[in-house]
Amino acid sequence: MSNGSTYPPHRRLRGLLLAVVTAVVVAGLGGWLVWRTSGGDGGPPHGAGPPAASRSPGRGAGDASGPGGTDRGPDGKDSPGKGAPHGSLKGKVIVLDPGHNPHNVDHGREIARQVDIGNAHKECDTTGTSTDDGYAEASFSLDVAHRVRTLLQQEGAKVVFTQDDDRRYGPCVDERAAVGNKAHADAAVSLHADGSARGNRGFHVILPARVTAGPAHNAAIVAPSRRLGERLAGRFLAVTGSAPSNYIGHGTGLDVRSDLGGLNLSTVPKVFIECGNMRDPKDAAELTDAHWRQKAARGITEGITDFLTH
């Protein structure tokens, strides 16, 4: 002390304890301030605004394939579906068949050519539908296919496309089936959006009927395709929150058809999914939204994964 006097031992001990407590409080307060300003509570630093991953991109921003921009995970990549255990699809081959082709509209004569689908002859391909604002089904299906491919590849799958905007038109429906057959795919999914009347809403999954006529012999894949379709419909509903179709399938979200060459001619489990109705304004608002399309991709991925791992 400055006057040279000394305190009794108990007063010196009290002073020492007070100094220790003061140091702890100061250090703790300083650490808390650093933690708060650095976003340590899971939020952004003060004044930084919302995290980049939570900002909704503007219509058309950053996504050349359709309106609504992209919807990436916090690391800038698409996040895998929650129901897909990491690496669970290693060694699996999955064929994605993006419906139609953005260039079909310029090749009417070529896509009108008739091809044998086993029990009938049908056009090679069609142009598909679009929203009232002009967002084409072909662009939608390709965008969702890219998102699904990313998620499937993250789980170790080999993904094969029937077309990736790399052809003048098509391919024809018989060739689309042949791609899956040649790849010996464990599962194949054709991606679409419907073009029904206003007020008709919701998704549905199309299952193959048994067809054994001409080049079609799909009896062996009818049962596994139904299992694939049921898993796909269930996970799509759970992830997107979209209701099953109110105009096809009697509320089940499932429809069985024998007039689609892609299903008649397939020798591997295959289904179509119509993700919504582009001609209904409420469905169209979802189909043109990148965030919703990412959810759709997750639902499709989880449905395929459930089928292949259970």
Query: For residue range 155-195, what is the model confidence (pLDDT) as tens digits?
Result: 999 999 999 999 999 999 999 999 999 999 999 999 999 99
What's the CATH architecture for 85-309?
3-Layer(aba) Sandwich (3.40)
Query: For residue range 193-209, what is the model confidence (pLDDT) as tens digits?
Result: 999 999 999 999 999 99
Q: How far apart are CA 281 and CA 79, in angstroms?
A: 28
Q: What is the pTM of this model?
A: 0.76
The question of whether 137 is a catalytic residue gets the answer: no
Every domain of the chain and the residues it spans: 7-40, 85-309
> Which stretches within the chain are classed as H helix?
9-37, 108-111, 137-154, 173-182, 222-240, 261-264, 281-287, 290-309
Catalytic, out of 155, 175, 274, 302:
274
Q: Report pLDDT for 27.
A: 46
Query: For residue range 290-309, what is the model confidence (pLDDT) as tens digits?
Result: 999 999 999 999 999 999 99
Q: Report pLDDT for 39.
A: 36
Q: Is pLDDT of 9 > 60?
A: no
